[in-house]
Structure formats: C-alpha cells, structure tokens
Amino acid sequence: MKYIIFGESHGPAIGVALEGLPSGIALDMDFIASEMARRVPGQNAMTTARREKDAPEILSGVFEGRTTGTPLCAVIRNTDTHSQDYAKLRTLPRPGHADYTGFVRYAGWGDYRGGGHFSGRLTAPLVFAGAVAKLVLRERGVAVTGRISNVAGIPDPTPEQMEAAILAAKAELDSVGGRIRCSVTGLPVGLGSPDFGCNVEGIFSQYLFAVPAVKAVGFGLGEGFAALRGSQANDPFYLDGGTVRTRTNHSGGINGGITNGMPVEFEVTLRPTPSIARRQQTVDLSAGREAELEITGRHDPCIVPRALPVIEAAAALAACELLGM
C-alpha cells in the first residue's frame, strides 16, 4: 500500500491517493472524522488561528461504503487562507524552514505561500491516509497508539504544564519543540529483514522522517542505550504459555531489523516551529544580499499536540507496508 500526497497550503485543495488498498475494507467515516479532528487547526490558543474543517471528500476507490481495491483518492478543501501574509517569503526564506531548499530544488517555481507543499497543512491528508491504514490494521489485530512524552524539555508533561510552556514561548514570539512516543501492538514475530530497505527500523523511519519537523527517531531506549551496559540493555527471554516473549522491551520490539513479537516502540523528536515572529537573519534571494525578516501570518507555537495523530498515521502506514499490504 503506497500513498502520494498532493497540493499546497494555499492552493484550492490538498489530498492523498492510496494505491494497493485491500478491497472490501469497511470505511468507518466516523472514525476517520475523529482522527481528522485530533489534528484540525484553530482549536485553542496553543495552535494556529487558521480555521479549516478538514472534511475529506472521497473521489474514488470506495463503493457502497467499502474499498474497491482500486486507488482511493480524497481531497480536503482549503477555505481559510491569508496569502498576503506570505508575500515577502517569495525572496526572503525563513530560517529553519524549507523555503530556501525548495526554492533551489524547484528552480524558483514553487508555491511559497504558507510553505506551499512543505507546509504542515499537508499532514491533514496524511492523517486521512493513516486513519484508513488503521482500519486495515484493525482487521489484522494491529493497533497504533501514541502519547506526548516531552514538550519544551518537560518529560511527560501534564496538560497544564504543556499549555504553560507553549503559551510562554508564544508570548515571547517564540516556539517550542518536543517528543512523541508511539507503540505498535499486534505485529507478529518475524517481519522484516536485516537487509537495506527491508529492516523494520528503516521502514518506519522512512515514513516518520517524511513528516515535517521530525528531526530524530529512536527505537526502544534510543539514545538511552549509550549510557547502559549490555547487562542493563538486554531484554531477557521467557515463555508465556509457550510463546517466546521478553521481560523488558528496551529494543523496541526489534532485533536485527526483524520484529520479535513485542510491541514496536519508538520516539520521535520534533523541532520547534521555525515560523516565529521574532526578527531573524536571512538573505534576499533577488537582491543577493543579507537581510532581516519578521514573519507574519498564523503559526503554531508548538506543533507537538497536533502532530500526535500525524505520527500515528505515519506509523500505521509503515505497519501496513511491513505486513505486505
């Protein structure tokens, strides 16, 4: 099952095409709507003020409520765009954003408004695709869950701590990053391989790094392994009614690039939102000189809360590939 996301932040619509879907999957639109609602903008002071309903319109691949097995295509209309806020970004790239690299990659012909195709807005169709993937996985007994494990350096923050840290950064015209920890349960032992392109960590990482702002991925204890001895890091095996399991899951359910039957667990690090209202140093691409930039427009002071369903979506799509769907 492969997907391609299309559209731009301020274009008429964004969307996704899913190819290789199994036929006959009941498309639970209430579940899909609930997943979309977790990411929708404009919910509170911690998110962008842009308001979009993010209601997907299915154009193909579904008949009488079930997938046909042919490509499934859905679009999400853009209805609340303030393109004038981004006029200066035609020649003044935002530090930390993909404005400059996109300008070079597409020879200056890219849509710069709101970040164009590089915008976090494009994660809306990814959540739709992930919701469909979760429905496929549900029939195989596989589930994907995630939680916010860090915001602004605060481990396992309470909602109150998270809100305070985000709003404090917003008040100072700044932003904060964080981490999301995710678990995929129900995957059988023996999936994947140690080979390039087929190992479990590689498959998941490819999907996760396609999410804007993801800068690091660690499986199991991740970076924590560096401080341990082997006796501490190893996961002892035992028999659970004849099934081989491990008493700990430091390796995140993966050994040698292959699932070991335990939950596949990983943590992603998301950078602070690069679009901040503080004055920053940049260059004027048209004049060929250094310049200063003050960014206007509507942006999240922290993308972590809205990124949670996005990371789950990427993990669900990766799990489908791992299962050969």
The answer to whether 245 is a known ligand-binding residue is no
Q: What is the DSSP annotation of 196-237? A: TTTSHHHHHHHHHTTSTTEEEEEETTGGGGGG--HHHH---E
pLDDT value at position 188?
97
Residue 262 has φ and ψ, to the nearest 5°, of -85, 165
CB atoms near residue 159 (< 10 Å): 10
pLDDT in tens, 17-32: 999 999 999 999 999 9
The two tokens of residue 325 are 């769907």
The C-alpha atoms of residue 298 and residue 81 are separated, in whole angstroms, by: 10
User: Residue 313, SS3?
Assistant: helix
The answer to whether 117 is a known ligand-binding residue is yes
- 85-322 folds as Chorismate synthase, AroC fold (3.60.150)
pLDDT in tens, 165-176: 999 999 999 999
Residue 193 has φ and ψ, to the nearest 5°, of -165, 165
Residue 324 has φ and ψ, to the nearest 5°, of 80, 20
The answer to whether 197 is a known ligand-binding residue is no
3-class DSSP string for 10-21: CCCEEEEEEECC
The C-alpha atoms of residue 240 and residue 245 are separated, in whole angstroms, by: 7
The two tokens of residue 208 are 């996760």
- Domain locations in the chain? 85-322
Backbone conformation region of residue 253, classed left if phi is above 0, alpha if psi is from -120 to 50, else beta: left
Low-confidence ranges of the chain (pLDDT < 50): none
Whether residue 7 contacts residue 14, with contact meaning beta carbons closer than 8 Å, is answered with yes
The C-alpha atoms of residue 213 and residue 277 are separated, in whole angstroms, by: 18
The answer to whether 39 is a known ligand-binding residue is yes
Whether residue 191 contacts residue 322, with contact meaning beta carbons closer than 8 Å, is answered with yes
CB atoms near residue 174 (< 10 Å): 14
pLDDT value at position 47?
72
pLDDT value at position 50?
65
User: Residue 320, SS3?
Assistant: helix
